[in-house]
């Protein structure tokens, strides 16, 4: 099993980034934990600033369902990895030495399963000693929608307050015979 390493968290997030890119303007914050971007993803922590413990594992295929009840939240998202250098990174200190690269198959799409516990212990506080744990697991997979495997009040709140997505346009209502005749006359001039 991989060993946990401390990751410094500034402003409530750390990254699973491809070559250090942080295209935050393309971030989907809707589930409140795993935030996919056009490249890589951000992970939202409970603490505002300080240290968390993270473990990272890259697989060749999907893992079995998690039976470890100690994980309070589990979310899965698709992550685009254009350069093939997906790593866990502190947004202030860069890649975390000792954590495995997460894109062993090179560039392409991966699934990222984020397990979290402890995010409710010190919300928006500073913690120099880790009180939160994260397990990050990736494997090559086609792009697909996010999946909430194990939710929490925090995730439920994020989902309930996510910005509305544009709704598909509805077809125009059918015209009455009179409206259709008028339309034809107007088109003929």
Band (pLDDT 50/70/90 cuts) for residue 92 is very high
- DSSP one-letter code for 77: E
d(CA 151, CA 161): 15
127 within domain boundaries: yes
Residue 126: which domain range?
5-164
Please enumerate in sequence order all residues whose Cβ is within 8 A of that of 67, keeping only pairs 6 or more positions apart, or say none. none
Higher pLDDT, 9 or 166: 9
Q: Kindly report, residue by residue over 104-159, the tens digit of the pLDDT.
A: 999 999 999 999 999 999 999 999 999 999 999 999 999 999 999 999 999 988 88
CATH number of the CATH domain containing 27 = 2.60.34
Yes or no: say if 43 and 135 are a contact pair by the CB < 8 Å rule.
no
117 within domain boundaries: yes
87 within domain boundaries: yes
173 within domain boundaries: no
Yes or no: say if 90 and 9 are a contact pair by the CB < 8 Å rule.
yes
Q: Give the chain's domain count.
A: 1
d(CA 79, CA 102): 11
144 within domain boundaries: yes
d(CA 189, CA 187): 5
131 within domain boundaries: yes
172 within domain boundaries: no
Residue 164 reports pLDDT greater than 70: no
**What is the model's pTM?**
0.84
Q: Kindly report, residue by residue over 56-80, the tens digit of the pLDDT.
A: 999 999 999 878 999 999 999 999 9
């Amino acid at each position: 099993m991989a060993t946990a390493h401390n990751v410094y968290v500034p402003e409530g997030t750390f990254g699973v980034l491809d070559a250090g890119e942080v295209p935050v303007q393309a971030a989907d914050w809707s589930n409140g934990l795993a935030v996919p971007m056009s490249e890589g993803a951000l992970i939202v922590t409970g603490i505002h600033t300080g240290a968390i413990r993270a473990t990272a594992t890259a697989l060749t295929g999907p893992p079995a369902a998690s039976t470890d009840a100690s994980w309070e939240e589990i979310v899965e998202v698709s992550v685009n990895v254009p350069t093939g250098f997906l790593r866990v990174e502190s947004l202030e200190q860069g890649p975390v030495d000792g954590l495995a690269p997460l894109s062993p198959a090179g560039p392409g799409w991966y699934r990222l399963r984020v397990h979290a516990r402890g995010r409710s212990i010190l919300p928006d506080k500073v913690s120099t000693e880790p009180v939160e744990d994260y397990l990050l697991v990736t494997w090559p997979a086609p792009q697909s929608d996010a999946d909430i495997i194990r939710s929490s009040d925090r995730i439920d709140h994020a989902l309930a307050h996510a910005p509305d997505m544009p709704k598909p346009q509805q077809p125009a209502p059918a015209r009455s015979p009179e409206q259709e005749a008028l339309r034809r006359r107007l088109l003929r001039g």
